[in-house]
Amino acid sequence: MSLLRRIEQGQAGIPTPNSNPAPRPAMPAPGAPVSPASPPATPVSPPVGPPAQSPAGGAPSLTLQTRRVSAPSTTSQAGTYYDLKRRVQNRLLAELDPSLDIKKTDEVRRVAQELFDRILNEESIILSRAERARLFEQIAADILGFGPLQPLLEDDSVTEIMVNGAKSIYVERNGKLHRVPITFESNEHVMRIISRIVAPLGRRIDDSSPYVDARLPDGSRVNASIPPISLIGPTLTIRKFFKNPLTAEQLIELGTITPEALQFLRACVHARLNIIISGGSGSGKTTLLNILSGFIPPDERIITIEDAAELQLRQEHVVSLEARPPNIEGRGEVTIRQLVINTLRMRPDRIIVGEIRDEAALDMLQAMNTGHDGSMSTCHSNSPRDTLARLETMTLMAGMNLPSRAVREQIASAIDLIIHEERMRDGSRKVTHITEVSGMEGEVITTSDIFVFEQTGYENGKIIGRLKPTGLRPKFMDKIEASGIQLPSSIFGTEGVRRY
Ligand SMILES: Nc1ncnc2c1ncn2[C@@H]1O[C@H](COP(=O)(O)OP(=O)(O)OP(=O)(O)O)[C@@H](O)[C@H]1O
Ligand SMILES: [Mg+2]
């Protein structure tokens, strides 16, 4: 997006918050009446769209020149500081060459820094070196980045960011939620950042379509949900994208899985078993799917299908497909289901579907049952049995009027293994079940747990326990052996069973 367009979108005159936890001025609620002393009323801006400010320095003149402005420490000083920031930001945006390509961040930043220094000199604004740097960073974050979220996006220890209206921001660090002393100026400021995220993608968010899934340029996954569906103001949830996703070794170090269970899963992937990874929201399903996909031999053609591409496979022969939401005119949608069907004509050796959440389940099961074994996917659920129930419900959503029993038979013959993960209350993620789907008995799908997590204690806020073999050997062992892999029986704890 060009700078000119940014200015048109109202980037000028946006007072941004300060990441410093110092006291903040009380900001009027959105839509609050304008006080009589305010400058002439400007039109009320729509939820997303240009704020009512003149980019070319139309803000009322403030007597800030030659005054030394410190970081805010009292309400009025904070107000002065924001006024100063807005004033400098306005001038900077007005004077920056509008033809600069905003994507060339380094260049725009360098030009902005020069201009910033000149404006401060011309206006005789005296700031300490640290204050100057902070003011520039905040202005740069607003022009080039995501305002107050910028430092959180750059902080690698933050894995997730949750904005609940302007004044409440939480982050996840080490699996635990923490409230951070960072706020937006107002709900409109949150809306502007949301529109900055979704507008370049040709997406729309407003009263009539009040939620949207999008991605930041770095691949981070974003959901924005705004009023009227959100009753607490505009909300944002950002799942950070890491260029180096967790590895199998890290999963063992973190206590998510044991080396034995991982060895078993590696064998299952080699033997082309169909696997579903299930678990609650944020339990680590996609991360584990990425790791298991990494076990696929390099000579196989892998096709991945996702809503928002998160998987990062290392193999050379990978085709990644991404579903598309409808465009602003409501056209051009491509669903996961359509992609699964399309993939069958692309000669896949393996089909990896990022997540099954609707009637695409039917097509995925059919693919698994018609020679595309070795396929994998994830599904939200509370337990392995719940995973089967969810798959059944989602398959019935396809509306083919299939009898329940037929659907269950499809599921039982398609799925070989369910790996269930949980986000524990200590923030850790653990594989709690590795369960074989073994067949049908009457109307019921039969399952056997091969590994189950056993908690033995809770110490210093940490869950103590281990993913243990149950002593059962899966029925599909012949498939594993046929693929040339011999697993020691100790993996299944069967030696121990014999001893007793
Ligand atoms: N084993 C793990 N230990 C610790 N953190 C993990 C583990 N696996 C994943 N995470 C972290 O948890 C977060 C969620 O991971 P992931 O996206 O894999 O979960 P998910 O179950 O696919 O989530 P969703 O339900 O939203 O699709 C990420 O920030 C990731 O880095
Ligand atoms: Mg996921």
Ordered structural domains, the chain, with CATH? 1-17+27-48+64-144 (no CATH), 146-242 (3.30.450.370), 248-492 (3.40.50.300)
Kindly tell me if the per-residue pLDDT of 299 is higher than 90. Answer: yes
Binding site membership of 148 for ligand 1 (Cβ less than 6 Å): no
pTM: predicted TM-score of the whole model, two decimal places: 0.75
What pLDDT shows up at residue 142?
A: 76
Whether residue 343 is predicted with pLDDT greater than 50 in this model: the reply is yes
Ligand 2 ion: residues within 5 Å (CB): 285-286
Q: Given a cut of 90, is residue 73 above it in pLDDT?
A: no
For 147-180, the pLDDT digits (tens) are 889 889 999 999 999 999 999 999 999 888 999 9
pLDDT at position 103: 65
β-partners of residue 306 are 322
- How many A from CA of 419 to the centre of ligand 2? 14
Mean pLDDT across the stretch 236-243? 91
Average pLDDT of the segment spanning 393-412: 92
pLDDT digits (tens, 9 = 90+) for 374-387: 999 999 999 999 99
Evaluate: CB of 279 within 6 angstroms of ligand 1.
Answer: yes
- Distance from residue 111's CA to the centre of ligand 1 (Å): 39
Question: Is the shortest distance between the CB of 252 and ligand 1 below 6 Å?
Answer: no
459 pLDDT exceeds 80? yes
Q: 55-64, 196-205, 261-270, 449-458: lowest mean pLDDT where?
A: 55-64
For residue 420, name the pLDDT band (cuts at 50, 70, 90). very high
Cα 428 from Cα 172, distance rounded (Å)? 12
CA 294 – ligand 1 centroid, Å: 17
Q: Provide the pLDDT for residue 495.
A: 63
| Closest residue CA from atom 2 of ligand 1 | 429
Q: Over 80: is that where the pLDDT of 78 sits?
A: no
Pocket of ligand 1 contains residue 287 by CB under 6 Å = yes
Predicted confidence (pLDDT) per residue in 106-150, tens digit: 788 889 999 999 999 998 888 888 889 988 988 887 777 788 898
Pocket of ligand 1 contains residue 251 by CB under 6 Å: yes
pLDDT score of 79 more than 70: no
List pLDDT tens digits, range 255-275. 999 999 999 999 999 999 999
The pLDDT tens digits of the residues spanning 15-36 come to 333 333 333 333 333 333 333 3
334 lines ligand 1 (CB under 6 A): no
Atom number in ligand 1 closest to CA 378: 22
Q: What is the pLDDT of residues 202-230, one digit of tens each?
A: 778 888 889 998 888 888 999 999 999 99
Does the pLDDT at position 282 exceed 70? yes
Is a pLDDT exceeding 50 seen at residue 64?
no
42 pLDDT more than 80:
no
Query: What's the CA gap between 282 and 176, in Å, rounded?
Result: 12
54 has pLDDT over 70 = no
CA of 284 to the centre of ligand 1 (A): 3
Indicate if ligand 1 lies below 6 Å from the C-beta of 429.
yes
